[in-house]
Amino acid sequence: MTLETKVGAFVLSGLTLLAVAIFLLGDVSFEKRYTLYGQFSDVANLSKDAPVKLSGVEVGQVRSIELVDGGARVVMSIRRGVEIYNDAVFQIGSTGIIGSKYLQVDQGSRAKGAIPANSTVRGEDPVSIEKSLTKALAKVEKLLDSLTKEGPRGSLAENLTETVANVREMTANLNDLIETTKPKLERAMSRTDEITEKLDALLAKSNTMMASLATDKGAVGSLLHDEKVKADVKETIASVKEAAGTAKDVFGRITQFRVYWNYDWRYEHAVRTSRVDIGLKISPRDGRYYYVGGSNLANLNDEKRGTKVDYAQPNRIDALLGWEGGWWDVGVGVIRSGGGARVTLTPFHKNPLLGRISVTAQGHDFGRNRTVEGRKFTKPAYDYGAQIKVQKYVTVGGRVEDAAEVPRYQTWLKVAFEDTDIAYLFGMVSFGAAGSKGRSKK
C-alpha cells in the first residue's frame, strides 16, 4: 500500500467518524414529521428540544422559540400520522414543582377535525409558581384579616367564621354537660381513690397469703392442704389482682386522648376552582392516631369555571390508621374512597426555622380502571408537594395531584387546631366502655 493510499484511507475514516458524530449529536432523524406553530405570551423557561406530549405521550419536539410581535412563537415538530384536533389545548407543563418544562397538549374532540400542518395555534399562558405562591400568601393574609371583619355574604371568611362558631357552640354544650356531671364525677373519682387504696392493701395481704399458701404450715396451710381448696383460693386472689390492674389502666385513659380538627383548602389553577378537605385526627396515645373525614367536598350543583376538564371526583371519604415520630408521619387506609398510604417527612424538625418545612406524598386507588369525563384512567393516583408552617395553626404550600395521569398544580392552605373538650369526651367514653367490660367479668 502506497503512502498516498494510507493518507487517503486515514482522511476518509476521519470524515466518516465526523459525519457519525454530527448525526448523533445533532439529533438528526429521518422520521417524517410536520410543523405546527404555537403563539404564547410567556413560555416560562421552556427550552429548545423540549418534548411535546399529547395526553402524556411524547409525539414531537420543540425545534425553536422565536420572539414575534411581542410574544413567543414556539415551532413544534410533530410525528407524521399523529392528529391533533382543532379544540386541543396547548400549555406549558412541568415534571414537578421545580422540574423540567415540556409542551403539554390536551387532546380535543375528533368531531372538530385535525389541525393542518404549518398552522398557528394559540397556547394558554402558564401560571408562574413564584407568582402563585405570592398570590397565595396574599390571599392567606387577606383571609386572616377578614376573620375579624364583616365580609360579603357567602365568602370563605364568613363560612369559616360560622363553622368555628358552630364548633364553639358544640363545645360549649359539651362543657355544660361536663359541668353538670362534674360533681358526680369528682365524687366517683374520690370514691375510686379510696377503692384503689383498699385494693393496694388487699394486694399486699394477698401476697403474704400466697406465700403462706405455698407451705402447709399453720392453720391456713393445713386447711389448704386439700388441693381443690388451695386452687380455688389462688384463683380468687388472681381475679382480685386482675381487677385492680384493670381499674388503674382505665383511670389513666381519661386524660390520654388528643383530638385535632383539620381544614384543608386547595386552589387548582388549571380548572380555576377550589377544593376543601375536613377531618378529625384522634390520637389515643403518643405515636398513634386515627383520621376520619371527607375530601373534595363540593356542591354537585355548582357550575364549573374555566375551559379545562375537571377530572377530580367530589365528596370522597378518608379513613386512616397512622403512626408518627419526630420527623416522620405514616398513615394507611382509605384515601378519597380508595385504598392508599400517606407519608409526611420533616427532615429538619429540630431546627426552629427549617423545621417549619415538610414534604408529603401519597398514593391511592391502586386498582383504578374507569372513565371520567370521557378520559380513561388506569394508573394509581399519586400526589406530592411541600408545605411551610407560617403560624401555630396555619400552613401554606403547593402540591401536584394525580401526577401519573393528569398532573395539576394546586396552591394549598391548611388550618389545624386542638380540641381538648372533645378529647376529654373521648376519654370519658373510653372510661365507660372499659368499666362496662370490668363489670361483666366474673
Percentage of the residues of the chain whose pLDDT score is greater than 90: 36
Domain tally for the chain?
3
145 belongs to a structural domain: no
Residues 6+ apart with CB under 8 A from 144: 394
At 348, is the pLDDT very low, low, confident or very high (cuts 50, 70, 90)? very high
At 127, is the pLDDT very low, low, confident or very high (cuts 50, 70, 90)? low
**How far from 156 is each of 136, 162, 352, 440, CA to CA, in Å?**
14, 10, 31, 50
Of 36, 25, 97, 88, give the one whose Cα is nearest residue 61: 36
20 belongs to a structural domain: no
Spell 284-317 as b/e; 16+ CB within 10 A means b. beeeebebebbbbeeeeeeeeeeebebbbbeebe
Alpha-carbon span 283 to 79, nearest angstrom? 56
| DSSP type of residue 434 | H
CB 433 within 8 A of CB 257: no
Same domain for 290 and 176, yes or no, is no
For the cut 50, the answer to whether the pLDDT of residue 73 exceeds it is: yes
318 belongs to a structural domain: yes
188 belongs to a structural domain: yes
Same domain for 283 and 320, yes or no, is yes
Residue 208: all three cell numbers together: 403474704
Does 121 or 96 have the greater pLDDT score? 121
pLDDT (average), residues 320-342 = 94
Same domain for 305 and 350, yes or no, is yes
Of 417, 379, 414, give the one whose Cα is nearest residue 398: 414
Alpha-carbon span 284 to 334, nearest angstrom? 20
Sign of the alpha-carbon dihedral angle for 237, 238, 239, 240: positive
Q: How confident is the model over 203-217, as pLDDT tens digits?
A: 888 777 777 666 666
Residue position matching grid coordinates 407519608: 343
216 belongs to a structural domain: yes
pLDDT (average), residues 276-292 = 92
Give helix 156-213 / helix 227-253 axis angle, nearest 10°. Answer: 160
147 belongs to a structural domain: no
HSE (side-chain half, CA atoms, 13 Å) at 10 = 7
Task: Check which CATH number belongs to the domain holding 347 and give it.
Answer: 2.40.160.160
14 belongs to a structural domain: no
Same domain for 396 and 277, yes or no, is yes
Does 182 or 87 have the greater pLDDT score? 87
Of 405, 410, 400, give the one whose Cα is nearest residue 106: 405
At 20, is the pLDDT very low, low, confident or very high (cuts 50, 70, 90)? low
Does 388 or 5 have the greater pLDDT score? 388
Per-residue pLDDT at 280:
93
Alpha-carbon span 96 to 408, nearest angstrom? 10
Residue position matching grid coordinates 493510499: 5
Same domain for 119 and 45, yes or no, is yes
Same domain for 414 and 344, yes or no, is yes
Q: How confident is the model over 389-441, as pLDDT tens digits?
A: 998 889 999 999 999 999 988 999 999 988 887 877 777 776 666 555 444 44
DSSP-assigned letters across all residues of 128-142: PHHHHHHHHHHHHHH
Does 278 or 408 have the greater pLDDT score? 278
Sign of the alpha-carbon dihedral angle for 352, 356, 357, 359: positive
322 belongs to a structural domain: yes
CB 123 within 8 A of CB 141: no
Same domain for 286 and 382, yes or no, is yes
For the cut 80, the answer to whether the pLDDT of residue 347 exceeds it is: yes
CA gyration radius, the chain: 34
Which range of 15-29, 231-245, 354-368 scores highest in mean pLDDT? It is: 354-368
Task: Check which CATH number belongs to the domain holding 61 and give it.
Answer: 2.40.30
CA 316 from centre of chain: 13
Per-residue pLDDT at 313:
85
**How far from 71 is each of 39, 41, 227, 371, CA to CA, in Å?**
7, 5, 100, 37
Alpha-carbon span 365 to 379, nearest angstrom? 8
Q: How confident is the model over 152-199, as pLDDT tens digits?
A: 555 666 677 778 788 888 888 888 888 888 787 778 778 888 888 888
pLDDT (average), residues 367-394 = 91
At 223, is the pLDDT very low, low, confident or very high (cuts 50, 70, 90)? low
Of 208, 179, 63, give the one whose Cα is nearest residue 421: 179
CB 434 within 8 A of CB 278: no
Give residue 243's domain range: 168-255+426-440
Start-to-end Cα distance in the chain: 110
pLDDT (average), residues 313-320 = 92
- The overall average pLDDT reported for the chain is 82
Alpha-carbon span 395 to 144, nearest angstrom? 12
Percentage of the residues of the chain whose pLDDT score is greater than 70: 80
Does 437 or 127 have the greater pLDDT score? 127
Q: How confident is the model over 258-270, as pLDDT tens digits?
A: 899 999 999 988 8
Same domain for 392 and 295, yes or no, is yes
Partners of 350 in the β-ladder: none
Per-residue pLDDT at 419:
85
3-class secondary structure per residue, 246-273: HHHHHHHHCCCCEEEEEEEEEEECCCCE
User: Hey, what amino acid is at 82?
Assistant: V
Same domain for 250 and 293, yes or no, is no
Residue 110: all three cell numbers together: 375528533
Same domain for 107 and 179, yes or no, is no
Residues 6+ apart with CB under 8 A from 386: 97, 357, 358, 359, 360, 397, 398, 399
Q: How are strands ordered across the β-sheet holding 120-122?
A: 89-94, 101-106, 51-54, 57-68, 71-79, 33-40, 120-122
Same domain for 176 and 228, yes or no, is yes
Per-residue pLDDT at 438:
46
Same domain for 275 and 416, yes or no, is yes
